[in-house]
Structure 1
Amino acid sequence: MSLRLLVVEDDPGFQDLVRALCERRGDSVDVASDGFLGLRLLSERRHDVVMIDYHLPEMDGYALARLMREITRPEDRVRLVGVTADRHGLASRRGADARFDAILVKPLDPAALYATLDRLTRPDSPSPALPPPRAPETGADAVWRRFGLPGRPRALICPSPGPAEAAAFGQAFVPVERAAEADLILLSGEAGLPALRAARAETPLRPVPSVDLTGRLSGACDVTFRVADPASWAMVAEACTGFAGRRAALRNHPQLPEPAAHLLALLHVSARDLALAGGEGGHTYETGLAPAAAMAAVLSLTEAGALACVATGTGVSVRLTEQGGRAAIGEALTGASRRPVEPPRPPVVDPRKSAELARLIGEGELGRLRHRLMTQLSGAFARDADLAALAHDAHVVVAMAGSLGFEDLAAACRGLEAAIAAGSGIQEAVAEVRRAAAQARSHGAAAA
């Protein structure tokens, strides 16, 4: 089914990227560069999904989402997707879950974009931003109550099931469509790993247990469930109760880089160690972070004293320290003011991401988007720029650089944002981002 999308985004490069990704799969895309134009276009034409950048000029994405909810009717079934590079800033806004049906994080992951659009526009999905209706009782409700839950837990199923599968899952769980509504996430096959990753990224301050239904993906999940095994019902119930209790005490750390705050919250709520290599079955525990971002978060939290390395029978894991546990519930990290330790420098361009984008949108379109980024870089991070201008440049560049596979530049931009937020290490971070920008431009010139 082809969709009509409205993209409200002030960055022309990001507009073009979303348009290219969506039009290649048959969707139609309208674009608005500010919230007022977005409201006019939504009132003039029906759209299935509206993607809203959080940092818009004149009117932020949260306020725009509220106005769009007011001018559309529930029967219009318009889905609102927040798009932001500042995931914790949007998640911490009270009522964000009621405004947006999903949240996507910049740099944009095409798999997460496609999974979100497919999930939100399935014909049997519930009305947007409304709580799911109370499900009728089944025999499983009594079983779950015996294990301490109020009834069947609400479950986001990855990948999204068809009607027959959803009905089968509904005997033991209450299927929901949004990560923000779920008590747990069910992984029913390896094809669901991207959706699990996207769900974890979508709700960094509301982690819920991930549950392996296959018996083969336990390394990526918190617990395994087998319907015929009473012990596994007890383990899932215990995970839900434990996650909910620890989550209630969770506090955000705005002074931490976003990946570090995300990982701190997840490790505290899940009460588990994180293996630094593949877990059981060769699958790594799914944190919702890209590998480079996860390693940067590990190094940052280790330097701050929140994580410690521990030897295991299969390699090395990291574990939340006592200080890290206290920090997760509100205590300041003594090392958080220092500039985060960066992982080993990534390549100028990630060849796998580049090849995947070329497959999805074509070499010509990818070349045009990269040319736009090179033009953007020619005026970014100027020698006479003040901190506000440098922060703006980093915020704008990181989204396109990361989306197009310029991992070194994206990491340098995130380092500059973190240094400015911490108020230290700024000079070194500026030098690093200028180096990365120069290398990206050299790469672009060589490829032209």
Structure 2
Amino acid sequence: MSNGDHSSIAVCDLCLNNEIHETVNLGFLYGLSLISPKQDILFYADEGHQEIIKTNTKTQGLNLEQIRYIHIPSNLNASYWGYILSYIRIKRILDHLIQLEVKKLLILSSVDFQRLILKKLLKRKCYQGITCCFVMHGDLDCLISPKHKSQEVQEVAGTYFWVEFYFNFKNYLKIRIKYALKKCQNYLTPKINFKAHLLANHSSQIRYIVLAPHILTQLSNYIDTDYLAFHYVPHPAVFRKPHSLPQYTPSKKLKCAIFGYGNPPTLFDLNRRLAQLWQTPADQKEDLRLHDLAHHLEIRMISSNHQGTEAFSWVSTPIKGRTLNRSEMEELIQDIDLLLILYESHRYQLSCSGSIIEALSYQKPVFFLDNPCIRSFNTTDQPIGQNFGTIQELALGLLNYIHNPEKRTIELEKFRQNIMYYRPQVDIKLNLSKLRLALDLKDHSSV
């Protein structure tokens, strides 16, 4: 990269050292490579996350030779010491950009205190030529109700405790200490008002990206999205060729999957209700009552987080005790009929779950609990799955598919066909104009 080339861009992930956000981050990097194929892309991130991006780049068959990988340790430590570490690392990045005369910086993942540090530094005269754009994820939901968000965290932590206690009675003391540490962690963290941190030190140098249309619509009820320069770029997906629908062969057993991190407390509740309903004669045909539910249903954990699943024979965990790589996940999802997305209605109101993008990528219909994010991909005229208001209704929906295999085959095939309609909406190759607008980039694709 030659000095003085202002069209070059830097990309940075301040938080991640693992496979989280691997799909969306690769999508942004690939999109930038298409916009400026002859320009280097500086990618600052933890070495662990960079290795995952490199592996997935090869798996997808992408050409991203213009990426220059620069290692920076990730940091999610929200203590005062964590603030100091982030300040030092962010300042080093900005100094490096000044040295190379790079004027555009895309932040893929960040938390509130890191954004505060960056915006404060950009006010300095030496950095005022740099434009910074933040990709916003789940913490935008704090704008709706910080108290509700805090209560949700406590409820989930409490559910974890009882699930772990149920299956690990001998480790009671260890679990209790772990739970207590989770509860007191907030008291050791400096408090930041989320809305105030968005407004603080705002200038024309700062921009934001949201990943779903419902976010931008709802966000205007809480902040001035025009003043803060919020832009919508569809959650960037990289789809393999061919884009045609592969042959679907239904299995005798209904095969579902949790893909990615999931929502263990809600999955535990779903399994508990399935067990109760399966024991109720009114909900079963005579020939089905003779068999264990595992003969008719599999919920496969394509995930490293399988807490609370041990007691349920229909839940399978092919790989335990470690994080799955992308190749393993792709192999395990091949024969799955549908994905379960178990996020409640108060989740993802101002954010977008990557799980729906995975469903589109692998052309898998979804059963999901109603929430704004997944609902926006499941229109009444072209549904890609079924929407349920409660866990009880979702459990009944699964049992209905078990009792009615012909209906299941017809509906799943229709959902899969509808998925092909939505894929272009999030394909990064077809959304380069939105990405270019958000970052205020020139088009160098034909240069």
Normalising by structure 1, we get a TM-score of: 0.29
Larger radius of gyration: 2
Query: Highest relative contact order (Cα 8 Å, sep 6+), 1 or 2?
Result: 2
